[in-house]
Amino acid sequence: MNVSSIVIQCSPKYFDSVKAWCEESDVCEYHFGDKERGKIVVTIEAPDVNGEIAKLMEIQRAPHVVSAEMMMSYQEDLDAAMKELDEAPEVPDLLQRCTEEEIDPATVVYHGDLKKKL
Residue 73 CA to chain centroid, in angstroms?
9
1-28 average pLDDT score: 96
What are the extents of the domains in the chain?
2-75, 88-117
SS3 call for 41: strand
Q: Where are the beta strands (DSSP E) in 1-118?
A: 2-10, 29-34, 39-46, 65-75
Cα–Cα distance list, 39 to 13, 18, 35, 53, 80 (Å)? 11, 10, 7, 20, 34
**Exposed / middle / buried, residue 80 (Cβ in 10 Å: 0-12, 13-18, 19+):** exposed
Say yes or no to pLDDT of 115 above 60: no
Is the pTM here over 0.95, yes or no? no
118: confidence class by pLDDT, cuts 50, 70, 90: very low
Is residue 77 within 8 A of residue 85, CB to CB? The reply is no
| CATH numeric code, 2-75 | 3.30.70.920
21-32 average pLDDT score: 96
Query: For the segment 40-54, what is each residue's pLDDT rounded down to a tens digit?
Result: 999 999 988 889 999
Higher-scoring residue by pLDDT: 78, 28: 28
